[in-house]
Amino acid sequence: KECEDIIRKGGEISEMYLIQPDPFG
């Protein structure tokens, strides 16, 4: 369950990064 939560949070963060400009780029 914890792994699933991490994956879900990671997916949400990834989507935000895709929408926002890459801060490291």
pLDDT digits (tens, 9 = 90+) for 6-22: 667 666 766 666 666 65
Residue 5: per-residue pLDDT: 72
User: Where does the pLDDT of residue 4 fall: very low under 50, low under 70, confident under 90, or very high at 90 and above?
Assistant: confident
pLDDT surpasses 60 at 25: no
* DSSP H/E element including 23: none
Question: Measured between alpha carbons, how far is 24 from 1 in angstroms, rounded to an integer?
Answer: 31
pTM over 0.85: no
